[in-house]
Amino acid sequence: MSFKIVVLAKQVPDTHNVGADAMNPDGTVNRAALPVVFNPEDLKALEMALRVKDQLPDATVTVVTMGPPRAAEIVKDARNRGADDGVVLSDMRFAGADTLATSYALSQAVRQLGKVDLIFGGRQAIDGDTAQVGPQVAEKLEIPQVTYAEELIAVNTREITIRRRLEHGTECVKAQLPALVTVTSAGADCRFPNAHRMLRLAKEEVRMINADSIDADMERLGLKGSPTKVKKIENVVLAHKESVVLEPTEAALNELSATLIQEHIL
Amino acid sequence: MNNVLVYCELSEKNTIADISLELCTKGRQLATRLGCRLQAAVLGSQVKAAAESLYPYGVDDVFLADDPRLSPYRTLPHFDVLSKLIRKEQPQIVLFGASSVGRDLAPRIASSLRCGLTADCTQLEIGPHDDPKTGKHYEDVLMQIRPAFGGNIIATIVCPETRPQMATVREGVMKKEVFDPAHKGTIIPVAVEASLAAADQAVQILSREIEEQKIDIKGAQIIVAGGYGMGSKENFQLLHQFARLIGASVGATRAAVDAGFTEAERQIGQTGVTVRPKLYIACGISGAVQHRAGMEQSAKIISINTDPEAPINAIADYTIVGDVMTVIPQFMACYKNNLK
């Protein structure tokens, strides 16, 4: 019997390498100027999925992502690293989705894949940091969730054992399958793309599907399906304090340290 | 009905976690503003005393689910009990800590109730909302305010059409304050048997390792924090020397943590800890809004930066324009001299 693993992944703006042109003069985000990357924790999730596949001979790994057509890049990357196949959910009708609408679309896409045994995803994406989509997909598919996973301890076709992060420590949990696991940045680094796979798969197209192919209630997609609305966006205006600017001279630093000691701050 | 509900987390000692007390303080303000009751949900084992400890924070009713299967926290038992409770009581607002528990539970609840959830809010207020598309007017909705995208903007999020309105808040962002030491509330027991029979099975905890918190900068009176501008892990050591000299704790920005300069526990900001020391010394920190969200309530701020235009300087009481690697040793020498 085959064992099906799904990895939920996202292509995200590389918020760690935001250049000066990342914002338009009017304060909106200049998406064109932002480089994109495979969301880092999703790569950790892919590695955990591949480790499960290493242990279960009949297992397959399918990447599911939602985004613009360009998101096919991360499916290709994942394939080169060892995933079997992948699909991009791309449709303007998904635009403006908050986490609830996103998790609905993803869960419907996963349903189209038939019986799925394990779902992995990063704990959160670096462009939003909400950590909501994983648990929401698990709820929609009515399967248990194991969040904040750091290490795969054991797996068989019926259950998975995971070490997961707590606020002050860790715990080992055993979950019955099917289950959804979200992986933190403490997970093992993803293996590199394999040169043979890159050559072999270079010409293989990535499957693109739209809202019509996931049997979805259109009212629950995109902006329409999103209960959270952005009321207001404000550019950050810093309230200027009366700031004393000091040159790093001995006299200035001496006076500052003396003042702070005198005021019982130091 | 339509009250404000706080989901309360328990500490390892089975007391109410600080984050939840902070949420009760905020929840009290919201409930008073809305003219409704502040309610809390406490799910655990032998937690009656913990539940009663909430009254001084202004909690009017505590929904108490007491069962060994609810401790330690596991997603499905808590999800089942809490989602049923919310369906029955129909609060207008539900608040969760943005902790490993709250961030595990809240999204699953929001998905089940098909309501909105805003993560990591830094401010919560009640106000009116006019929908620009439909022209509909809403009174008294929850304004969920958080920094967003790259930290250059502050977004106000509303969920006008769906209830409850749910938000998570990080520990330390809101202030914990006793509302009235004499305030008395009531305990409302919650029946759990039907929920737990099914939800108890799927996930088992095999073992738990609770770590003594090695690094805890939350309560520090003085913080020396380093950013990406520190340049390297080696240079970061200078901050530890500086901190030892002046009796401070060492903090960091996300950029410094991501670059591997120091431990994640030291991260200050929206996705790290929030601090309010009497002195905050920002070293090589440009001051993204997410970072400032975690430190701008410091009583005094000193910024040491080569860039006179760094955003952090705008909220600093003192800005020292210069290279951290030369300014800090100079400052340490001056400090030693002045102590004599």
Judge: B330–A248 Cβ closer than 8 Å, yes or no.
yes
Give Cβ neighbours of residue B240 (< 8 Å, ≥ 6 apart): B250
For residues B234 and A215, what is the distance between their CA atoms, to the nearest angstrom? 55
Confidence of residue A15 (pLDDT cuts 50, 70, 90): low
Q: Which residue of A has its CA nearest to B270?
A: A129
For residues B340 and B337, what is the distance between their CA atoms, to the nearest angstrom? 6
Contact A105, A214 (CB under 8 A): yes
Q: What's the pLDDT score for residue B14?
A: 94
Superfamily grouping for domain A3-220: HUPs (3.40.50.620)
pLDDT surpasses 60 at A26: no
The predicted-structure confidence for B129-180, as pLDDT tens digits, reads as follows: 999 889 999 999 999 999 876 566 789 999 999 999 999 998 888 888 999 9
- Number of other CB atoms surrounding residue A185 within 10 Å: 16
For residues B235 and B256, what is the distance between their CA atoms, to the nearest angstrom? 11
The predicted-structure confidence for A35-55, as pLDDT tens digits, reads as follows: 899 999 999 999 999 999 999
CATH domain B222-339 topology: Rossmann fold (3.40.50)
Residues paired with residue B267 on neighbouring β-strands, in sequence order:
B252
Residue B219's SS3 state is: coil
For residues A102 and A221, what is the distance between their CA atoms, to the nearest angstrom? 7
pLDDT surpasses 60 at A209: yes
Q: Which residue of A has its CA nearest to B332?
A: A257
Q: What's the pLDDT score for residue B142?
A: 98
Q: What residue ranges of chain B are covered by domains with CATH 3.40.50.1220?
A: 222-339
Superfamily grouping for domain B4-199: HUPs (3.40.50.620)
Least CB–CB distance from B339: residue in A226, A242, A261: A261
pLDDT surpasses 60 at A27: no
> To which residue do tokens 């903090």 refer?
B251
Shortest Cα distance, chain B CAs vs residue A200, angstroms: 35
Judge: B131–A229 Cβ closer than 8 Å, yes or no.
yes
B146 Rama class: left (phi>0) / alpha (psi -120 to 50) / beta: beta
Instruction: Determine phi and psi for B27, rounding to 5 degrees.
Output: -60, -35
Amino acid identity, position A25: P
Judge: B119–A132 Cβ closer than 8 Å, yes or no.
yes
pLDDT surpasses 70 at A23: no
> To which residue do tokens 């939840």 refer?
B20
| Strand ranges (E), B149-233 | 153-158, 165-169, 186-189, 203-210, 222-226
Q: What's the pLDDT score for residue A129?
A: 85
Q: What residue ranges of chain B are covered by domains with CATH 3.40.50.620?
A: 4-199
The predicted-structure confidence for A105-154, as pLDDT tens digits, reads as follows: 999 999 999 999 999 999 999 888 899 999 999 999 999 999 999 999 99
Q: What's the pLDDT score for residue A30?
A: 67
Judge: B316–A231 Cβ closer than 8 Å, yes or no.
no
For residues B261 and A57, what is the distance between their CA atoms, to the nearest angstrom? 40
User: Is A242 or B10 the better-scoring residue by pLDDT?
Assistant: B10
Q: What's the pLDDT score for residue B195?
A: 78
> To which residue do tokens 């952090």 refer?
B312
Give Cβ neighbours of residue A91 (< 8 Å, ≥ 6 apart): A210, A211
Residues of A in contact with B75 (CB under 8 A): 135, 144-145, 147
For residues A33 and A19, what is the distance between their CA atoms, to the nearest angstrom? 8
For residues B56 and A129, what is the distance between their CA atoms, to the nearest angstrom? 34
Residue B157's SS3 state is: strand
Positions of chain B with pLDDT lower than 50, given as ranges = none
Least CB–CB distance from A139: residue in B99, B112, B331: B112
CB pairs under 8 A between A and B: 243
For residues A136 and A103, what is the distance between their CA atoms, to the nearest angstrom? 6
Judge: B150–A230 Cβ closer than 8 Å, yes or no.
no
Residues of A in contact with B312 (CB under 8 A): none
